[in-house]
Amino acid sequence: MRPLLSLALGASLAATLWAQQFQFNLSHLTAKAKDTFEVSLNTSMLHFAAKFLDGKDPDEAKVKRLIVGIDGIYIQNFEFKSDGAYSAADLDKVRAQLRAPEWSRMVGIQSNGNSERIEVWVRSEKGRVSGVAILASEPRQLTVANLVGNVDLESLADLGGHFGLPKMKKK
């Protein structure tokens, strides 16, 4: 009976860790890109980085409080030599990793003038937000950001300008 219990506990722990460390498979884009950069910050790296934030500065104090519940921030940016270097099918491969019932698309913004598109996807577990994915695409650039853990959507804009995330404005 004991080995069966150990196996069950091990399997549930592995499933939990996988969910917390979920990162997108973007290898199909790496070969097509002219330049790439990647930011991978797990829990311990985020807590280490938080030590350098000034708790007396109101903006940095907000960021410090916000990252307490985040298990990881994973960002990949791809720059391409020419328009059309990546296809709609490439984006569909990324979107396919954002499957229901856990993931749902929250925001989609399409710019008519210059083919820019932003999509925000939210992952929910047991009624709480457990992750946010952001896809930002332009003809020659694609950025995929994944925030894993307890994410406070109200305060998400406060992370902008930190850890490789673009600065966002609240209205």
Tell whether 98 is covered by a domain.
Answer: yes
Q: Report the distance separating Cα 18 and Cα 68, nearest Å.
A: 19
Distances from the Cα of 159 to the Cα of 5, 65, 110, 138, 146, angstroms: 41, 10, 23, 22, 13
Give the pLDDT of residue 165.
Answer: 59
Q: Determine the pLDDT at residue 159.
A: 61
- Residue 80 DSSP one-character state: -
Q: Which of 169, 124, 167 is nearest to 149 (CA)?
A: 124
Asked if residue 169 is part of any domain, the answer here is no
Tell whether 167 is covered by a domain. no
pLDDT of 79 reads 95
Q: What is the pLDDT of residue 1?
A: 38
Domain that residue 135 falls in: 2-159
Is the residue at 170 inside a domain? no
Strands laid side by side in the 35-42 sheet:
35-42, 70-79, 141-149, 128-138, 117-125, 103-110
Q: What is the spatial distance between Cα 162 and Cα 25, in angstroms, rounded to a whole number?
A: 24
Structure confidence at residue 24 (pLDDT): 76
Show the tokens assigned to 62.
Answer: 């907000």
Residue 164 belongs to some domain of the structure: no
The number of distinct structural domains making up the chain is: 1
Q: Which residues in the chain show pLDDT less than 50?
A: 1-21
pLDDT of residue 23: 63
- Cis peptide, bond prior to residue 58, ω within 30 of zero: no
User: Does any domain span residue 54?
Assistant: yes
Residue 151 lies in a domain: yes
Residue 167 has what DSSP assignment? P
Residue 120 lies in a domain: yes
